Structure 1
Amino acid sequence: MPISALGAGLSGMYANQRALDVEANNVANLNTANFKAQRANFSESNPAGAGVTLSVEGRNLAAVEGTALAGSLTNSLMYTAGFDMSAQVVKMADQRMRTLISISA
């Protein structure tokens, strides 16, 4: 159990970091002519519960000025929280593995 939790936590950290990278790229290029913003799409890994994967697709920037920036900032906060939660899963799995190793030694 701790090993699968460790893998799920690590994949969650990786996916959220990649999503943050996507949003950072969108913000950095807001004023670039003909820039097509990207969106991060999360999906469950196979087998179920093994972690998450991330795909990136292009999209047009919002027509209303400032909307794209507000959305990117909101998404960045959400991805940061997701990364932090995944890091807690990794921390707890690590603690359980240490306990199991201590018991068996």
Structure 2
Amino acid sequence: MAITAINAGVTGLNAAERALGNSANAVANLNTQGFQPAQAVFQENTPAGSGVTLSLRGQQLSQADAPSATNLATETTNSLVYKAQFDLSAKVVQAADQNLGTLIDIKA
């Protein structure tokens, strides 16, 4: 059970890291004409509780003379959410690691 929790936490860490990178890319291209930021979509793995995956909905370039479609307020909010998700996933891994250590100590 602790191994499953560690795996779920690690997939959460990876998904949050990729989403944060996507948000950073959108902010970096704020002034790029025609830039369309990708949208991060989180999905629960099957079976339920075994982790999460992230897919990025494609970037479609609009006309070169159109302004960037990046919304700075949205990306700032997303960055804060992804950071919180990363921190919480790290706490899941830490708690599962401590529980696993306790189980090993009890067995020994």
Runs of 5+ consecutive residues of structure 2 not aligned to the other structure: 61-65
2 CA distance for matches of 1:7 and 1:59?
30
Identity %: 54
Q: What is the letter of the counterpart of residue 3 of structure 1?
A: I
Question: How many residue pairs align between the two structures?
Answer: 104
**Residue aligning to 1:34:** 34
Measure how far apart 1:33 and its partner are: 1.4
Higher strand share: 1
CA distance in 1, matches of 2:46, 2:16: 18
Specify every segment of 5 or more residues in structure 1 that has no aligned partner in the other structure, as ranges.
none
> What TM-score results when the alignment is normalised by the length of structure 1?
0.90
Instruction: Note the aligned Cα RMSD (angstroms).
Output: 2.2
For residue 78 of structure 1, what is the aligned residue in structure 2? 81
Q: CA deviation at 1:58?
A: 3.3
How does the TM-score come out when normalised to structure 2? 0.88
Instruction: Report the residue type matching 2:25 in the other structure.
Output: N
User: Could you list the per-position Cα deviations for residues 48-82 of structure 1 after superposition, in whole angstroms to 9, with x for gaps in the alignment?
Assistant: 1110000001367xx9x9x7001000000000000
- 1:6 partner letter: I
